[in-house]
């Protein structure tokens, strides 16, 4: 284990599907996924228990044109299958880089991945395995943000990490306003009052009600995940 002492023992990392694309228009960029796995390996080797919820936007983007006018529930189920594809790719990359990953799906496709069972997920985490939750909540009309909040609460995570392209939450869009400043921390109520759009409303309300803090940070910033886990000034903390 690293000499550095982690500030958090168990975390839930929320990755968007787009974070796996790199510079590609859609799909999975192998170099990008390998780099992300390297960041996760750093914190796992510190003794941190890591669970991951991943989105499917990078895969679904490739078929989105054909989904216009489609029934919403059908489209959402397609999106769930896209998250399973991402979870399998991520798990494979982790296993090849020396980690032990287990993919668990909220929808039943047992020939491909095992079903989500909470006690089993907890057992895997306690054994030092990385657990990747696929297929969102298993229900249409709910986002993978909501799945992250739900699974985070279920496994007793100390922190939900929302990985984005931006290194935190700002007073305004930093690309449009050079004077925009990053919040070091902000309460759930203040974030809602300012309509900052950190997560969808259902996910945000669940985290607030469960007093489950959210840390927003950039997955593209080298070493940021480790700094978050160490409790350093990285990203923005949203707390009750």
pLDDT tens for each residue of the chain, 240 residues long: 445 678 889 999 999 999 999 888 788 999 999 999 999 999 999 999 999 999 998 887 656 555 667 888 998 999 999 999 999 999 999 999 999 999 999 999 999 999 999 999 999 999 999 999 999 999 999 999 999 999 999 999 999 999 998 999 998 888 889 899 999 999 999 999 998 989 999 999 999 999 999 999 999 999 999 999 999 999 999 999
User: Is residue 15 annotated as involved in ligand binding?
Assistant: yes
147 three-class SS: helix
pTM: 0.93
φ, ψ of residue 122 to 5 degrees: the values are -65, -40
User: Is residue 188 annotated as involved in ligand binding?
Assistant: no
Task: Please provide the distance, in angstroms rounded to a whole number, between the alpha carbons at the two ends of the chain.
Answer: 31
User: Is residue 138 annotated as involved in ligand binding?
Assistant: yes
User: Is residue 181 annotated as involved in ligand binding?
Assistant: no
User: Is residue 145 annotated as involved in ligand binding?
Assistant: no
The single-letter DSSP state of residue 139 is S
User: Is residue 16 annotated as involved in ligand binding?
Assistant: yes
User: How far apart are the C-alpha atoms of 122 and 6, rounded to whole Å?
Assistant: 19
User: Is residue 139 annotated as involved in ligand binding?
Assistant: yes
User: Is residue 76 annotated as involved in ligand binding?
Assistant: yes
User: How far apart are the C-alpha atoms of 86 and 3, rounded to whole Å?
Assistant: 32
User: Is residue 223 annotated as involved in ligand binding?
Assistant: no
In 16-129 the beta strands, taken as DSSP E runs, fall at: 49-54, 101-105, 114-115
- Domains of the chain, by residue range, sit at 10-161+226-233
Which CATH architecture group holds 10-161+226-233?
3-Layer(aba) Sandwich (3.40)
Contacts with 84 (C-beta within 8 Å, 6 or more apart), sequence order: 56, 103, 105, 107, 109, 112, 113, 134, 135
């Amino acid at each position: 284990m690293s000499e550095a002492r982690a500030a958090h023992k168990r975390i839930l990392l929320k990755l968007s599907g787009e974070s796996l694309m790199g510079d590609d228009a859609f799909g999975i960029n192998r170099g990008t996924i390998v780099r992300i796995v390297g960041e996760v390996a750093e914190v796992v080797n510190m003794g941190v228990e890591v669970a991951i919820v991943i989105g499917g936007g990078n895969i679904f983007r490739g078929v989105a044109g054909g989904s216009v006018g489609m029934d919403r529930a059908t489209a959402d189920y397609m999106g769930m299958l896209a998250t399973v594809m991402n979870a399998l790719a991520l798990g494979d990359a982790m296993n090849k880089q020396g980690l032990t990953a287990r993919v668990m799906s909220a929808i039943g496709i047992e020939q491909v991945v095992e079903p989500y069972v909470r006690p089993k997920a907890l057992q895997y985490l306690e054994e030092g395995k990385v657990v990747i939750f696929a297929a969102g909540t298993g229900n249409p009309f709910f986002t993978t943000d909501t799945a992250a909040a739900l699974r985070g609460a279920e496994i007793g995570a100390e922190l939900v990490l929302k990985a984005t392209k931006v290194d935190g939450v700002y007073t305004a869009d930093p690309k449009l306003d050079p004077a925009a400043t990053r919040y070091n921390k902000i309460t759930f109520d203040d974030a809602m009052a300012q309509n900052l759009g950190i997560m969808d409303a259902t996910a945000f309300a669940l985290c607030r009600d469960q007093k489950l803090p959210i840390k927003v940070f950039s997955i593209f910033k080298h070493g940021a995940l480790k700094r978050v886990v160490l409790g350093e000034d990285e990203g923005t903390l949203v707390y009750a």
